[in-house]
Structure 1
Amino acid sequence: MFLHARCTNALLVLACLVSSVCASYFVITEPQAKTEWVNGSPHLVQWTKGLLDDINGFDVEMTRLSKDGLTLVAMNVPASQGKLNILLQDVPAGDDYFLVFINSTHGVMHATSPRFAVLDASATPSSPPDLTAAPGIPTVTVSGSPNPTQLFATTFPAIASNAGRLGWGVGREGVLGWTAVVGGLVMGAVCAVW
């Protein structure tokens, strides 16, 4: 009985180690906290993410803390590009906006931005923006108040993924996953025999 408990604990530790190695990393680096976006100007959205997380694309939504509703910004954004420009037109001013990176089909949230402000077109930001719109990157135009019944302002083309592929996995993440499975089977067999 004591040996069985030790084997179970060893398997639990192995599972925790594998899950921590495979954990995803997805951070919105721009806008930062206290960033001010002015209506009528393009603004840079920037992110970094893990290489082995199998997130090929995501949807961008903008929302506020004090008001209900979502603004559907862009659907199927290629995760590998790392940047997106957003041009605001007639978006209500407020200091409680944030961006949500989500797979809206499955409801899986990947990241949320820090809280930032949207200013009227005639307003002057308290400090000049650190980053301006990136050249060569698509610009999405967002206008009006949050409205979840509106379609996404932009929909990017479909992205190829490994979701439907059968086989032993692709690259290092496949090897890591199968190594964990085989290791778990071997440890389970040893615990059962011992």
Structure 2
Amino acid sequence: MLLSECLRSWPSVPFILVLLLSSLISVDAYFVVNQPGSSTSWKNGSPYPVTWTLGLQDGIDTFDIEITRLSRGGIYFVAKALPITMSSLNVVLEDVPAGDDYFLICMNSTVGRTYSVSSRFSVTDANATGSNPSPASAPTVTISGTPGPLSHFAQTFGPSTNGVARPGWPGIRNQVTAITVAVGAALIGGVMVLY
């Protein structure tokens, strides 16, 4: 009943078409940073595991890991071009300033696309009390000092596909569909305005 009433009124036709066509755009992304968690505290000089979970059809071949703070400018470039076959990485901080406002970011730094951000965690001095976690059976990357604008990634894992998430049609399918929906809605709206 509601659909038949909507179909009879011309002004709602573009809305219905946009709604139907936009359902063709698939969203497969699922990327979660498991560690560090919200109650995690990293001590300088100790290896800490960074773990993540990726979706099966998220279109990501490689990604980069960075660490940043809320209260201070600067980014620690941890690792570049981590393959999706990895699920963990150990990070050792050396002489990194203590604070409780650190975040780990998983992203594609080539195009500036952020995939996931960890919970807020803290960093303490090397002589602070607390237990050291057991590192994961994964490569270890060491970060030291304060972030600088000319810093490089501490570790590069492998060549990426030129910054392209998926080459060919699978990589541009969602963009082409979205552009087609927008152009189609604009054309229909223009025709309706003229008539």
The number of residue pairs the alignment matches comes to 173
Alignment TM-score, normalising by the size of structure 2: 0.75
Shift of 1:147: 1.6
Work out whether residues 60 and 165 of structure 2, in 8 Å CA contact, stay in contact via their aligned partners in 1.
no
Give the equivalent residue in structure 2 for 1:18: 24
Q: RMSD between aligned alpha carbons?
A: 3.0
Q: C-alpha offsets along residues 108-132 of structure 1, whole Å, 9 cap, x if unaligned?
A: 111111110111111113xx46x53
Matched, 1:8 2:11: no
- Give unmatched runs, 5+ long, in structure 1: none
Equivalent residues in 2 for 1:1-194 (5 A)?
2=8, 5-19=11-25, 21-125=26-130, 128=131, 132-135=134-137, 137-160=138-161, 163-165=166-168, 169=170
Distance 1:148 1:105 in 2: 16
Work out whether residues 74 and 152 of structure 1, in 8 Å CA contact, stay in contact via their aligned partners in 2.
yes
Secondary structure class of the residue paired with 1:96: strand
Q: C-alpha offsets along residues 39-60 of structure 1, whole Å, 9 cap, x if unaligned?
A: 1111111111221121111111
Q: CA 1:27–1:89 in structure 2 vs 1: closer, same or farther (change >3 Å)?
A: same
Shift of 1:25: 1.4
Alignment TM-score, normalising by the size of structure 1: 0.76
Distance 1:25 1:163 in 2: 16
Percentage of matched positions with identical amino acids: 40
Distance 2:75 2:36 in 1: 18
- Give unmatched runs, 5+ long, in structure 2: 1-6
